[in-house]
């Protein structure tokens, strides 16, 4: 099994957490804690106690918990980007490429042993519940200028370019893709917590396939020539 790691934007951290043992424990344990407590209740103090370190040490890696959250979520989108490249390779038909990308987006994420200290099932739940909070802030423009949202924008661009191949005349390729990216996560959340907002039922296997069917149909119908 190849040893790989993603190079994330340097602005996200003060010291690269992938390079040290403490950094790796910060990543690993923060994923568990944010998943469990939610981002609002999560603090560096609680994290430091859990990993038996100190608040000050955690602050040497990340400026604040908001940057740590963006770091984790950027990791997730970078990982999906990489999975999409795999899924799409050798497919020549853009419709097939679109379907394969959508599948990667929607499928339930399993632990990937390539990345020892990242537990992807927890991270997927974090992305569903917390991703919007990374950019719905007053610092969005400053953060964006620093390139903190590049991995997400890159996925959007990649799928939008497939959409353009399917129908070069469709005027809203980025909007339809960002709509799909949004709703993929929100429909899963609604299914679980606000079921009257969705027709996807929260059933272990079925809700991923239902969600896929829903998304595929509205995207393909939207962009059809």
Partner DNA sequence: AATATACAATAGTAACGCTATCATAAACGT
Partner DNA sequence: ACGTTTATGATAGCGTTACTATTGTATATT
Q: How far is the CB of 24 from DNA (least distance, A)?
A: 9
Give the DSSP letter of residue 11.
Answer: G
Partner whose footprint covers residue 119, from DNA, a copy of itself, none (CB < 5 to 8 Å by kind): none
Residue from 56, 92, 110, 113 in contact with DNA (CB under 7 A) = 56
Q: How far apart are CA 21 and CA 18, in angstroms?
A: 8
- 78 within 8 A of 8, measured Cβ to Cβ: yes
CA-to-CA dists, residue 134 to 57, 67, 118, 125, 199, angstroms: 23, 9, 19, 15, 27
Name the residue nearer to a copy of itself (CB basis): 75 or 152. 152
Partner whose footprint covers residue 167, from a copy of itself, DNA, none (CB < 5 to 8 Å by kind): none
Q: How far is the CB of 147 from a copy of itself (least distance, A)?
A: 12
Q: How far apart are CA 184 and CA 127, in angstroms?
A: 11
Partner whose footprint covers residue 190, from a copy of itself, DNA, none (CB < 5 to 8 Å by kind): a copy of itself
Restricting to residues 18-47, name those near DNA by CB under 7 A: 20-23, 41, 43-46
Q: How far apart are CA 217 and CA 211, in angstroms?
A: 10
Q: Which residues bind DNA (CB under 7 A)?
A: 15, 20-23, 41, 43-46, 52-57, 59-60, 63-65
């Amino acid at each position: 099994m190849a040893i790989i790691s993603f190079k994330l934007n340097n602005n996200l951290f003060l010291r690269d957490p992938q390079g040290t043992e403490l950094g790796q424990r910060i990543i690993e344990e923060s994923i568990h804690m944010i998943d469990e407590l939610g981002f609002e209740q999560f603090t560096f103090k609680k994290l430091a106690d859990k990993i038996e370190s100190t608040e000050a040490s955690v602050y040497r890696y990340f400026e604040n918990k908001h940057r740590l959250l963006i770091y984790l979520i950027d990791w997730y989108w970078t990982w999906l980007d990489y999975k999409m490249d795999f899924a799409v390779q050798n497919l020549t038909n853009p419709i097939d490429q679109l379907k394969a990308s959508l599948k990667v987006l929607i499928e339930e994420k399993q632990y990937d042993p390539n990345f020892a200290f990242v537990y992807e099932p927890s991270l997927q739940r974090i992305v569903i519940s917390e991703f919007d909070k990374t950019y719905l802030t007053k610092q969005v423009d400053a953060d964006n200028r620093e390139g903190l949202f590049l991995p997400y924008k890159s996925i959007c661009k990649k799928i939008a370019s497939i959409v353009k191949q399917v129908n070069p005349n469709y005027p809203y390729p980025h909007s339809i893709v960002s709509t799909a990216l949004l709703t993929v996560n929100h429909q899963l959340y609604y299914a679980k917590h606000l079921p009257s907002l969705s027709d996807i039922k929260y059933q272990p296997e079925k809700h991923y396939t239902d969600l896929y069917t829903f998304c595929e149909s509205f995207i393909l119908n939207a962009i059809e020539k």
